[in-house]
Structure 1
Amino acid sequence: MEPKLLLLMVVEVVVLTVGAAASADYVRPPPRKTLHFPWTPKSSSYPQQVHISLAGAKHMRVTWVTSDKHSPSVVEYGTSPKNYTSKAEGENTRYSYFLYSSGNIHHTVIGPLEDNTVYFYRCGGEGPEFQLKTPPSQFPVTFAVAGDLGQTGWTKSTLDHIDQCKYDIHMLPGDLSYADYIQRKWDTFGELVQPLASARPWMVTQGNHEKENIPLLKDSFVSYNSRWKMPYEESGSDSNLYYSFDVAGIHAIMLGSYTDYDEYSDQYRWLKADLSKVDRERTPWLLVLFHVPWYNSNEAHQGEGDDMMTAMEPLLHAAGADVVFSGHVHAYERSKRVYNGKSDPCGAVHITIGDGGNKEGLAHKYKEPRPEWSVFREASFGHGELNVVNSTHAFWSWHRNDDDEPVRSDEVWLTSLIGSGCLAENSRELRKILSSP
């Protein structure tokens, strides 16, 4: 063999060996199948798909489904097991989707409730006793964050890992059930998440898989709006697709990527009105969630958020948004503080976390070279945890689902803009936007 050819072969072996060693740190597990939900008979008034959400100051909305349309929308609750000292009655709704007819979907608001307190409750006057814990009124407070959940084996792994987290609220930036017009999958999703969603409030916003519209036949978001009622009325919104809520020292804004968002839209006008009421002394942190990311270096869904970003990013920047969460891209990515396409110390940290466990798989391909604003990116299933420690500091961690163990793969301390001087610098810009017609 010629010496030159031998040298090339040796170099190739060395390169392959080094490359294998570099990638051996993590071998991504294979996809997992959609979960199977065996049918179990229950009485027609038995409460199913129980989940809770915040419903204004010191109140919680309890939602459940029964097949009996005459079952009462009543919740009994108290701070001791089997000892219900309070009772509330709510409303119920149903919907049809061609040959499918939903069960009776009950929404009942309970309260006023004490902060950071365990309550025991029963839905509809029968069935099992559930247990919930209200969020604290002061720091620290912890959020679990995972989007694009679906109903696969990886979804179950993600939920199991979230269950190990000592969190107060779950935030989900769109794409819940992946029912995709098959309405019974909304029922199985409700069954899947009930153990977690009945115990801690789930605050969700819509994604593209919630639309389920058929032109001239079915409006968008009928299933989503019927089943996952959020505190839009309590926050002055006219639509369940966008709203806000306060918890401890955080003001969280949930926006809709799939409803009008230009400066003449109802959503934009509501957002201006909502931000005008924010008191950063009382809520020093400003969090924002929506489905389609604005800052995304993955090849998947490139540019889909550009129009919304053009319309709304100047407003959120002027208001001093601290962290923006999104989903849609089935991978994880964290940015520096960024605004107008580049790093900016007064911009928001953008986190894409659409990797909860969906049926479509992961988005493996990233754009090269990496944008200067992108800090960490990886195509793996997982969830995030945001522990807001005080008015100025929060600890963010992303936990990869590695062989069923929640491995902490990315972590960073975040500081709010409250003490940075950015809010004072941006106040003139904010006043100008808020005063415009």
Structure 2
Amino acid sequence: MGIKGQILLVLVIIGWLGFDAVHCYNRPPPGKNIAVPHVGDDATPQQVHISQVGQDKMRISWITHEPTSATVEYGPSPSANAFSANGETTFYNYVTYLSGHIHNVVIGPLKPNTVYYYRLGESDKTYNLKTTPSQFPIKFAVVGDLGQTEWTVSTLQHIKDSNYDMLLLPGDLSYADVIQPLWDSFGRLVEPLASERPWMVTTGNHDVEKIPIIHRTPFTAYNARWKMPFQESGSDSNLYYSFDVSGVHVIMLGSYTDFDSDSAQYQWLKGDLENINRGKTPWVFVLVHAPWYNSNEAHQGERESVGMKASMEDLLYQARVDVIFAGHVHAYERFKRVYNDESDDCAPIYINIGDGGNREGLAKKYQDPQPDISMFREASFGHGTIDVVNASHALWSWHKNDNEERVASDTVWLTSLSSNHACIA
């Protein structure tokens, strides 16, 4: 075996070990892995996805194998030629891998709740996207630990059928685990959805991809491929940021970057929470990867959960955050409003939704007895939706993939803390 073969073997072993090697537990087998090939020539756009930038703009990201212009033509009619915008093109190296040309273009201003058509670079293909509404109601799809397996395909189809406005993903996107072509496959897999609705994401442990000596920089692929609007929220890192959409303030946190009280992330979060205007955004959602509350036997006692909770829980409680979504544990669980391990009517609801379709399988072992603060738990692949109807009420539903059918298994009405006078000073 030559040196390149040896390196590849090491990378494969590291990738399949992932970052869970020191936290061993048995999982049932997942669905078969899916590899999505590129169709077209080297100038054909691929891995197209969009993300929201501010109130009235969208960032369109795509990759080509040969240099093309970072230009988007767009408009409200299928001719897609009313407006044009230019952006930037970058690439990255990862050991022996060289990425394609990564294009990022911000378009707008755009009208809310409107379909726009667009073309990329020199390509004749026309895509379409729908902007988010400017006010209630708005529907979010929420899914973690997505991966690219047969279960992922089912989950994506169910999400598409939900007719959502925006997708929120609390980490672990591609499960490339250092095998960089898997990022390309993942981008092609999610393109049909991610090119039509904004996908707002944050990082998980499988997105870190830091290898001692060989590749010391974490999040290389994630930061290059999935650029989020961090600068607009005053953050200095693509790993944590916030944004407002349709009456909801959404905060994305990084479980695998510094979070102690003297860290840049903590200081940014403190300032962000202080600047929330509950008259403008009555709802506040937070997404992390490693859950702070978890009655599954998987991922108990990890620093990213215990340490981040100890550092930041009080901040989020005092700010009256409504819901905290997490991934990491490959199962579903919904908690009561909880603060300091006890039920509290003015605390956030915790929802773990790391069941998108990862290649590692489900985490089926739960602690017995079920804690009083845990309301519903089940180890099944699936996704969630949250329909924010108005300033005070939202409908949360978890849909499991039952024989590939979309089945609503846990549904509950939520009331915003901003509408609870007992919780707002």
1:75–1:125: 8 Å Cα contact kept in structure 2? Answer: no
1:401–1:407: 8 Å Cα contact kept in structure 2? Answer: yes
Tell me what 2:66 maps to.
68
State the SS of the aligned residue for 2:333: strand
> What is the alpha-carbon distance in structure 1 between the residues aligned to residue 288 and residue 30 of structure 2?
26
Structure 1 vs Structure 2 CA RMSD: 1.1
Please, what TM-score do these two structures have when normalized by structure 2?
Answer: 0.91
1:32 correspondence with 2:31: yes
In the TM superposition, what is the alpha-carbon distance from 1:84 to its structure 2 partner?
Answer: 1.4
2:172–2:203: 8 Å Cα contact kept in structure 1? Answer: yes
> What is the alpha-carbon distance in structure 2 between the residues aligned to residue 312 and residue 208 of structure 1?
19
Which amino acid is the alignment partner of residue 312 of structure 1? M
In the TM superposition, what is the alpha-carbon distance from 1:39 to its structure 2 partner?
Answer: 5.1
1:105 correspondence with 2:105: no
1:166-189 Cα deviation digits (max 9, x unpaired): 110000000000000000000000
2:38–2:46: 8 Å Cα contact kept in structure 1? Answer: no
Gaps of 5+ in 2: 1-27
2:391–2:419: 8 Å Cα contact kept in structure 1? Answer: no
1:47–1:127: 8 Å Cα contact kept in structure 2? Answer: no
> What is the alpha-carbon distance in structure 2 between the residues aligned to residue 98 and residue 294 of structure 1?
34
Tell me what 1:175 maps to.
172
> What is the alpha-carbon distance in structure 1 between the residues aligned to residue 37 and residue 348 of structure 2?
44
> What is the alpha-carbon distance in structure 2 between the residues aligned to residue 58 and residue 324 of structure 1?
26
Tell me what 1:407 maps to.
407
1:319–1:423: 8 Å Cα contact kept in structure 2? Answer: no
2:288–2:326: 8 Å Cα contact kept in structure 1? Answer: yes
> What is the alpha-carbon distance in structure 1 between the residues aligned to residue 418 and residue 29 of structure 2?
43
1:364-395 Cα deviation digits (max 9, x unpaired): 00001111100000000000000000000000
Please, what TM-score do these two structures have when normalized by structure 1?
Answer: 0.89
1:238-293 Cα deviation digits (max 9, x unpaired): 00000001101100000000000111000011011111211001100000001000
In the TM superposition, what is the alpha-carbon distance from 1:216 to its structure 2 partner?
Answer: 3.6
Which amino acid is the alignment partner of residue 58 of structure 2? M
1:320–1:422: 8 Å Cα contact kept in structure 2? Answer: no
For residue 193 of structure 2, the aligned residue among 189, 193, 196 is: 196
Tell me what 2:19 maps to.
none
Tell me what 2:111 maps to.
114
State the SS of the aligned residue for 1:234: helix
In the TM superposition, what is the alpha-carbon distance from 1:38 to its structure 2 partner?
Answer: 4.2
1:393 correspondence with 2:404: no
> What is the alpha-carbon distance in structure 2 between the residues aligned to residue 127 and residue 195 of structure 1?
17
> What is the alpha-carbon distance in structure 1 between the residues aligned to residue 411 and residue 298 of structure 2?
24
Tell me what 1:205 maps to.
202
Which amino acid is the alignment partner of residue 302 of structure 1? Q
Which amino acid is the alignment partner of residue 337 of structure 2? R
Structure ID, larger Rg: 1
2:331–2:378: 8 Å Cα contact kept in structure 1? Answer: yes
2:29–2:360: 8 Å Cα contact kept in structure 1? Answer: no
1:170-222 Cα deviation digits (max 9, x unpaired): 00000000000000000000000000000000000000000000224420000
Which amino acid is the alignment partner of residue 114 of structure 2? T
In the TM superposition, what is the alpha-carbon distance from 1:148 to its structure 2 partner?
Answer: 0.3
State the SS of the aligned residue for 2:206: helix
Tell me what 1:311 maps to.
311
For residue 280 of structure 1, the aligned residue among 278, 281, 305 is: 278
1:327 correspondence with 2:335: no
- Change in Cα spacing, 1:422 to 1:238, as seen in structure 2 (3 Å) is farther
Tell me what 1:430 maps to.
none
> What is the alpha-carbon distance in structure 2 between the residues aligned to residue 306 and residue 167 of structure 1?
33
Which amino acid is the alignment partner of residue 366 of structure 2? Y
Which amino acid is the alignment partner of residue 393 of structure 1? H
2:38–2:188: 8 Å Cα contact kept in structure 1? Answer: no
Tell me what 1:257 maps to.
255
> What is the alpha-carbon distance in structure 2 between the residues aligned to residue 155 and residue 346 of structure 1?
35
1:31-55 Cα deviation digits (max 9, x unpaired): 3210133454x22221110000011
Which amino acid is the alignment partner of residue 296 of structure 1? N
> What is the alpha-carbon distance in structure 1 between the residues aligned to residue 293 and residue 112 of structure 2?
36
Which amino acid is the alignment partner of residue 57 of structure 1? Q
1:207–1:291: 8 Å Cα contact kept in structure 2? Answer: yes
Which amino acid is the alignment partner of residue 179 of structure 1? A
For residue 54 of structure 1, the aligned residue among 30, 33, 52 is: 52
In the TM superposition, what is the alpha-carbon distance from 1:422 to its structure 2 partner?
Answer: 4.6
How many residue pairs end up in the alignment?
Answer: 395
Tell me what 1:431 maps to.
none
State the SS of the aligned residue for 1:150: coil
> What is the alpha-carbon distance in structure 1 between the residues aligned to residue 200 and residue 422 of structure 2?
28
Tell me what 2:151 maps to.
154
> What is the alpha-carbon distance in structure 1 between the residues aligned to residue 83 and residue 422 of structure 2?
46
Q: State the identity %.
A: 60
In the TM superposition, what is the alpha-carbon distance from 1:127 to its structure 2 partner?
Answer: 3.8
Q: Flag the structure with more relative contact order, 1 or 2, with Cα contacts below 8 A and sequence separation at least 6.
A: 2
> What is the alpha-carbon distance in structure 2 between the residues aligned to residue 261 and residue 30 of structure 1?
34
